[in-house]
Amino acid sequence: MKIVICDDEKIYVDKVYDIVKKYCENDEISCYENAKQLLNDIENSTYNNDIYILDIEIDNVNGLDIAKKIREKDTSAIIIFLTNYDKYVYDAFEVKTFRYIPKDVIEEKLPQAVKDAVVRIKERNSKNIYVGVSGRVIRRIELDEIVFIEKYQKNIIFNLLDKSIVKERTTLKNIYAELDSDKFIFINKGIIINLKNIKYLDGLKIVMENDVNCYISRDRLKEVKDKITNFWG
């Protein structure tokens, strides 16, 4: 996980870091005392962070503005606000704030908030796959959005419900190892389908929810049909 702490008072940065480190000792924790630097890094970063723990007012910058910038790039990041004020509490919910913690109870409230955030992220990640699109760019794809995955030359192509595609240079074997084997199956050497997104089966032909036809190899026909039948119950 990638965790960001931002507060213009070093005493709070250090205090929050010590609490977070207890529950995320093997994770990457970045600390900021300058809101403009954080905004710049959010704007120019090619990856998303998982948890942001932010002061609501930093260097005369409203923490809500930072949260809005985060939401422009990532709707699922967890945002925890720390504050000496309660006047922003209702506005904070507009950016899907996970917790709103008064600074005078950080020691009592933040540990549980961090533990809850870690649980939320683990649950979320179990339903996603992370794809290296190009260079340092990584895209998160919800497993339920995948219709089928196919090999094309040296690339793997994810075909999604919205009929868009995402390419990654890897192998189907590597991708399959990251998938839920109860929901995904090889129907031939070059295609993995998502059982959830089958529209109907017609002999060797499977019509998927994105209206693309995928074909089962004869040597896999019984295995695939049995798995589809079991999945459909």
Q: What is the pTM (predicted TM-score) of this model? A: 0.60
- Domain of residue 197 covers 128-232
Contact partners, residue 35, CB within 8 Å, separation at least 6? 6, 8, 58, 59, 61, 63, 66
> What are the start-end ranges of the H helices in 126-220?
172-176
The CATH number for 58's domain is: 3.40.50.2300
How sure is the predictor about 181, in pLDDT bands with cuts at 50, 70 and 90?
confident
What is the total count of domains within the chain? 2
* Same-domain pairing of 21 and 109: yes
Q: Are residues 160 and 73 in the same domain?
A: no
Q: Do 24 and 112 lie in a common domain?
A: yes
Note whether 114 and 144 are same-domain residues. Answer: no
Torsion sign across C-alpha atoms 195, 160, 138, 28: negative
Over residues 74-118, the pLDDT tens digits come to 878 899 999 887 777 777 878 889 999 999 999 999 999 999 999
Among the ranges given (126-130, 135-139, 157-161), the one the predictor scored with the smallest mean pLDDT: 135-139
- Is the pLDDT assigned to residue 164 strictly greater than 80? yes
Are both 22 and 111 inside the same structural domain?
A: yes
SS3 230: helix
Burial grade of 191 (CB within 10 A; 0-12, 13-18, 19 or more)? buried
Q: Are residues 24 and 47 in the same domain?
A: yes
What pLDDT is stored for residue 133 in this prediction?
66
- Please give the Cα distance from 126 to 151 (Å, whole number): 24
Same domain, 97 and 206: no
Do 156 and 119 reside in the same domain of the chain?
no
In this structure, are 107 and 132 located in the same domain? Answer: no
Mean pLDDT of the region 180-200: 93
